[in-house]
Amino acid sequence: MRQKLVIGNWKMNGNADLVVAHREQLADTAFTAEVAICPPFVYLHAAQHHLADTNVALGAQDASDHAEGAYTGQISAQMLHEQGCKYVIIGHSERRAMCAETSEDVAEKFVQVQAKGLIPVLCVGETLFQREQGQTQDVVVGQLKAVVARCGIKALAKAVLAYEPVWAIGTGKAASTEQAQEVHQSLRQWLHKQDAEVAEGLQILYGGSVKPDNAAALFSQKDIDGGLIGGAALQPEAFAAIVQAAS
Ligand code: PEP
């Protein structure tokens, strides 16, 4: 039985006060799911302080594909480790689209993150055009394959996978439970062919317009092990309700 996991991705929103608001809201919430929040880099230090002695973990929204050096503006996995991060989101569709990150770049980030003992949260997902062309399976498996080719299948034993259909992110139009489960199942089936133990153990999160009113139905699906939450992670009450739905 896989543990449910809920991760909040604030994107370029929020501030240190929002960490405190989440801490207080979650302190009043009974939950059994694993929970993490991923504020922007500059709030990680304050967040580490505010979340000490809580059961809310800290994550980052990205990491460099290099260990150190002349990479102005980038943040290394070692730095994130020092700020108390447990998780690092990599391959988010916004970065793939806006920063032209390729699946090979994402695989290098995966390497860097794991090298520092952090858990990569690998995002995969198709655009609406790709879905309409019937390419969903090929796209998401292709994005996953790039990491497996670089790191080996066993590396996924210490990672989290997030299926985030691009057309559902920030649009208010979540995938239906059937659509999400279908893709999660196909990802797990592909993994099964590589390594059954890894496939069974891997937490696969769904992300894309998860809200308190659709979370429970999504999380009840056999292959959906929690959520990667964007917009609703900016509202402590809504986020706590989603965490409860996973608990
Ligand atoms: C995300 O950015 O990863 C995300 C899932 O956003 P939203 O929940 O707002 O769709």
Summarised one tens digit per residue, pLDDT across range 162-172 is 999 999 999 99
pTM: 0.97
Spell out a b/e string for 142-159, using b for 16 or more CB atoms within 10 Å of the CB, else e.
ebbbbbbeebebebbeeb
Q: Which domain holds residue 124?
A: 5-246
* Closest CA to ligand 1's atom 4: 230
Judge if the beta carbon of residue 165 lies within 6 A of ligand 1: no
Segment 121-178, tens digit of pLDDT: 999 999 999 999 999 999 999 999 999 999 999 999 999 999 999 999 999 999 999 9
Q: 191-219 pLDDT, tens per residue?
A: 999 999 999 999 999 999 999 999 999 99
CA of 92 relative to ligand 1 center, distance in Å:
10
Question: Is 92 marked active-site?
Answer: yes
Give distance in angstroms: CA of 148 to centre of ligand 1: 25
pLDDT class for 1, splitting at 50, 70, 90?
Answer: confident
**Which tokens is 219 given?**
């999380």
Beta bridge partners of 119: 87
Count how many domains the chain has. Answer: 1
CATH of the domain at 213: 3.20.20.70
Q: How confident is the model over 75-123, as pLDDT tens digits?
A: 999 999 999 999 999 999 999 999 999 999 999 999 999 999 999 999 9
> With contact defined as beta carbons under 8 Å apart, do 187 and 161 qualify?
yes
For the Cβ of 61 lying below 6 angstroms from any atom of ligand 1, the answer is: no
